[in-house]
A and B are shown apart, each in its own frame.
Chain A
Amino acid sequence: MKMVNLKIDNVNVSVPAGTSILDAAKEAGIKIPTLCYHPDMPFTASCRLCLVQIKGKRKLQPSCATPVKENMEVITNNPMIREARKTALELLLANHPMECPVCIKNNKCELQRLAQELNITDITFEKCSDMLPIDDQNPAIVREPNKCVKCGRCVEVCHEVQTVGAINTAYRSGEYNVCTAFQKPLAESECVFCGQCVNVCPVGAIYEKDDTQKVWDALNDPDKFVIVQTAPAIRASLGEEFGMDPGSLVTGQMVTALRNLGFDRVFDTDFTADLTIIEEGNELLERLENNGVLPMITSCSPGWINFIEKFYPELLQHLSSCKSPQQMFGALAKTYYAQKENISPEKMFVVSVMPCTAKKYEAARPEMNSSGYRDVDVVLTTRELGRMLKEAGINLAILEPGKFDEPLGISTGAGAIFGTSGGVMEAALRTVYEVVTGKELENIDFTDVRGLEGIKEAEVDIDGTKIKIAVANSLKNARELLEMVKSGKGDYKFIEVMCCPGGCIGGGGQPYGTNNETKQKRMQAIYKEDKNMKIRKSHKNPAVCELYEDFLGKPLGYKSHKLLHTYYTPKK
């Protein structure tokens, strides 16, 4: 690697060629303020908060967007620089509704933090707030454009990472803003409700629809039997809401916290993740045996389902008909479990805690009511659960670990890894191999499909038959695989797609500050969870076996089809 030597504030720094001044300064222990910059995305250089002076240049330069050069001399702090940065920030604040105490982003807002770091105590410029309407006409995401600081991150992520392009920058000057085509509500746009824009927004201009009050109401209702399910990925991230390091695994504390909140039962989506493997694995085998449509593509990521329904309706046949684990859980809770416990499904209220905003949309789909009632009543994101716990004065970090209730809380390591890209594939392979061969799988770690890489491919040998598989995370990569499928390239038999980069660990409902570094740590935590489990293969989950014996009969049977499978609708 070619190294470049330069001076930043008179400190000699040596960094790899191509490094930005911003990152080089970090090396030198110098923190430059930023707002529009995001470590995982190309720069827009629009906020002008990271300006620095470069010897020989008349104008100040944005350090986030300027690569280092040999012998460059950079100054990051002098009156001219401080003035320019402060003026930029004050100008933004003059056009910003200062509603911090009642803002969803309070305490987690990059604009707010910058105001503190740049020692802003007064705005000398005239206030001039925009008066754009709030868009909350969908079940998942709220846009509040008056709080937008026009950093452009959401547009980048929607176009470059997700290739959806639901939102764009439009108009000019004071009217310049982020909006959908023809200013329509998100619900009428191409939006798939993945929430990646929410994750990257530095302020409170895009956020999840808050459903916490609905859960409080249910918990307070003596007639309701309120149960909760927790997605695989949230135990690896919820701790961050309480100041714990990314990658802290808080499964036990989370269970205790939910119990303390007042849920009647605390269950685990990992259970239905295992169940998904049984159904989906059998579906794959059936398609392989009976010349079904191949490759079969996983269906557990609702943003992905929205995407394929909207952009590739001609390929819907490739989707597994399995509902997502969240929806399977809801359907079983209100049938199997309700019967078992003799509770009327009408009284049962199913809450799920998900790393995802698209899950809110999924739960609201009209077809998701197999028991005659909505499978899942309310979906909370990791962030919303964090807020509820704080509201109740529960500090997750100091709780004694608890255990999930049975039977819907019993799970395996295979269910746990659903939370990260490659996990569904790996879990499926563990089961499919043993079902087909009848032999015990020696090495159950399929490391080829692990990691944050956008597209991963592997060939697996199942008793002499080699099948090609692929794993994609983020919709851009999903699109790439779909294009290959369309043109007959690739010859895959099974594809896993997760809508969000990195999988659910990078979901649109995860704690703020999600980036590749935090995702990496959450991923490690998930694999640690898998390693810690006594049972690591879905078909060995005793509660799942019991479910088939007592209730479902057999995989892909009549009841399965009624409760656990679904259909898709072209939405082009």
Chain B
Amino acid sequence: MAKTVKLLSENFGKIRPDSLEDYLNAGGFEALKKAFTMKPLDIIEEVKKSKLMGRGGAGYPTGSKWEQLYRIEKFPKYIVCNADEGEPGTFKDKLILNYDPMKLIEGMIIAGYVFNSNHGYIYIRGEYPDSQNIMQTAADVLEKTGYLGENILGSDFSFHLHVRTGAGAYVCGENSTLLNSLEGKAGRPRKKPPHLAEVGLFELPTLVNNVESLANIPYIVLNGGDKYASFGTEASGGTKLVCLSGNVVNRGVYEVRFGTTLREIIYELGGGVPNGRKLKLVQIGGSSGPCFDETLLDTPLCYDATWKNGITVGSGALLVVDDSNCVVDFVKCITEFFVHESCGKCTLCREGNKQLLKIINKFTEGTASEKDFDAIRRISDAMTNGAFCGLGETASRALTTCLEYFKDEFEEHINGKCRAGVCSFEKGGE
């Protein structure tokens, strides 16, 4: 029986976000105190042992990222928390921001201590004004009480937190774009290398981590990396906040151990598909994630296991789509999203998404032909292999994976049939 765990979400709903007292009573800042007694490299060692993989989507091992930044001998360094949470179907960072902001801040202070960095920025999505207020209030409280600012807890370490608002574009969640946006520049990505660890915010070495990644740091410091890792699998340490949305009975955010299967999450926690409908497809990781059908539901949530099945954990979003939906219509909505969100800088993404949408529209209008599969393949291959940033690279993933699993439905559309009856022409098929 699948269970949720309360490791990261322990305080959710139990403490007042603006109350230092509540947070301290819940064990807050014990990790920071412990961190101050540790050597930075020892903290990094614990983070490595924890097998914490970046929770922002790319799944890069946080310990390695920290080690790389640590080795760069250029100062000052900056700590940036990515709270842009723009990935559709992803709403887990918001819970941390709203229900346990001080834990996130504690994680950032510890990061600051590790890298001897005195400034942290938290870049919060423009659509989360309440989260901005809560974070700012929490930061103000901590500033007044000596947990932020000069000489934290009487130590000689100082850390200032700056709460900033996002510009409202999806691509601003991409880490280099986020830094440009923080600097007041246009929201378009930078060429990497140079890596942000070398040339980051204001061209200085910078750590960019997701909210969930940073909020796990206090637990890891306090309880040790091994303990954290033990919640998960061989490849993926700890727990994950999973966002369940779409055609499921119980939508919401669940904290689960890595290793829990997707079926358990969807059926046991989510209560399965409502209204007697059948599950048609699942998209994992948000709009940029891959789609698959029920054949992969027994895949455990784990960076390794998903990878072996050609999918990814991504941000931890699970979108369930039932059989009242049309696959072609579904990918059309996703492609419309990417057409809207492409920053326009590079040819493949700017022109590619536009052309992909044109082709998909031919399918939904019944004017597509076999040749269009070729064009989709050419464009999506080129985008995946050659777009400037992650947005263009992943924009066609839903389309290509749906073609893998549901090509027959696309073919039916060529013949003017939409089995779900969603597309404008006559209902039929199967």
Contacts and interface: CB of A to CB of B under 8 A. Distances in A.
Interface of A: 43-49, 51, 59-60, 62, 65-67, 80, 83-84, 87-88, 91-92, 94-95, 124-126, 128, 149-150, 152, 169, 171-177
Contacts of B381: 80, 83-84, 87
Contact of B388 (A46, A49, A83): A46
B351 A46 contact: no
B342 A59 contact: no
A48 B351 contact: no
B153 interface: no
A174 B382 contact: no
B169 A87 contact: no
Given A43-B191, A172-B169, A172-B187, 15 more contacts: A45-B191, A48-B346, A48-B382, A48-B386, A59-B385, A80-B385, A84-B382, A87-B378, A87-B379, A88-B347, A91-B379, A125-B358, A128-B354, A174-B354, A177-B344
B350 A84 contact: no
Contact of A91 (B186, B340, B343, B352): B352
B387 interface: yes
A445 B354 CA distance: 59
Nearest to B187: A172
B355 interface: yes
Contacts of B188: 169
Given A43-B191, A46-B345, A88 B386 contact: yes
8 contacts: A65-B191, A83-B378, A84-B386, A87-B379, A171-B344, A173-B342, A174-B342, A176-B344
Contacts of B340: 173
A47 B340 CA distance: 20
Interface in B382-409: 382, 384-388, 393
A345 B414 CA distance: 74
Interface in B327-371: 339-348, 350-355, 358, 371
A353 to B, nearest CB: 37
B346 A47 contact: yes
Contacts of B343: 172-173, 176
A565 B193 CA distance: 53
Give the most central of A47, A49, A125: most B CB within 10 Å: A125
A47 B344 CA distance: 11
A174 B358 CA distance: 13
Contact of A88 (B348, B353, B374): B348
B317 to A, nearest CB: 23
Given A83-B378, A84-B381, A174-B344, A91 B355 contact: yes
Contacts of B346: 45-48
Contacts of B385: 51, 59-60, 80, 84
B382 A88 contact: yes
Contact of B350 (A59, A62, A174): A174
B348 to A, nearest CB: 5
A169 B339 CA distance: 18
Contacts of A44: 345
B382 to A, nearest CB: 4
A173 B339 contact: yes
Contacts of B352: 87, 91
Give the most central of A80, A87, A152: most B CB within 10 Å: A87
A59 B378 CA distance: 15
B189 to A, nearest CB: 10
A94 B350 CA distance: 12
A65 B193 CA distance: 9
B355 A176 contact: no
Given A173-B340, A175-B344, A176-B343, A91 B386 contact: no
A169 B185 CA distance: 12
Contact of A48 (B186, B341, B375, B387): B387
Contacts of A177: 344
A474 B268 CA distance: 68
Interface in B163-207: 169, 186-188, 191, 193
Size bracket, chain B contacts: 35 or more
A48 B371 CA distance: 25
Contacts of B193: 66-67
Contacts of B341: 172-173
Given A46-B388, A173-B339, A150 B344 contact: yes
B386 A125 contact: no
Contacts of A128: 354-355, 358
B161 to A, nearest CB: 30
A43 B343 CA distance: 18
Given A45-B191, A45-B388, A126-B355, A172 B347 contact: no
Which 6 residue pairs of A and B lie closest in terms of their CB atoms, listed nearest first? A176-B344, A91-B351, A87-B382, A173-B342, A84-B386, A84-B382
A176 B345 contact: yes
B386 A60 contact: yes
Nearest to B384: A59
Contacts of A95: 351, 354
Contacts of A59: 384-386, 393
A60 B348 CA distance: 12
A92 B344 contact: no
A124 B386 contact: no
Contacts of A83: 378, 381-382
A68 to B, nearest CB: 12
Nearest to B194: A67
Nearest to B356: A125
Contacts of A126: 355, 358
A354 to B, nearest CB: 35
Contacts of A175: 344
Nearest to A92: B347
Contacts of A171: 344
A66 B348 CA distance: 18
B190 to A, nearest CB: 10
Nearest to A58: B385
A55 to B, nearest CB: 15
Nearest to A96: B351
Nearest to A89: B347
B379 A172 contact: no
A169 B350 contact: no
Contacts of A92: 347, 351
B347 A46 contact: yes
A94 B351 contact: yes
A83 B387 CA distance: 13
A414 B344 CA distance: 49
Contact of B347 (A124, A125, A150, A169): A150
B386 A51 contact: yes
B284 to A, nearest CB: 19
A34 B350 CA distance: 18
Contacts of B347: 46-49, 88, 91-92, 149-150
A75 to B, nearest CB: 13
Nearest to B374: A124
A95 B358 CA distance: 13
A176 B355 CA distance: 15
B339 A174 contact: yes
A173 B393 contact: no
A341 to B, nearest CB: 58
Contacts of A124: 371, 374-375, 378
Contacts of A48: 346-348, 382, 386-388
A126 B367 CA distance: 13
A335 to B, nearest CB: 52
A274 B159 CA distance: 65
Contact of B375 (A45, A66, A125): A125
A202 to B, nearest CB: 13
Contacts of B355: 91, 94, 125-126, 128
Interface in B201-236: none
A150 B350 contact: yes
A175 B351 CA distance: 11
A67 B169 CA distance: 30
Contacts of A88: 347-348, 382, 386
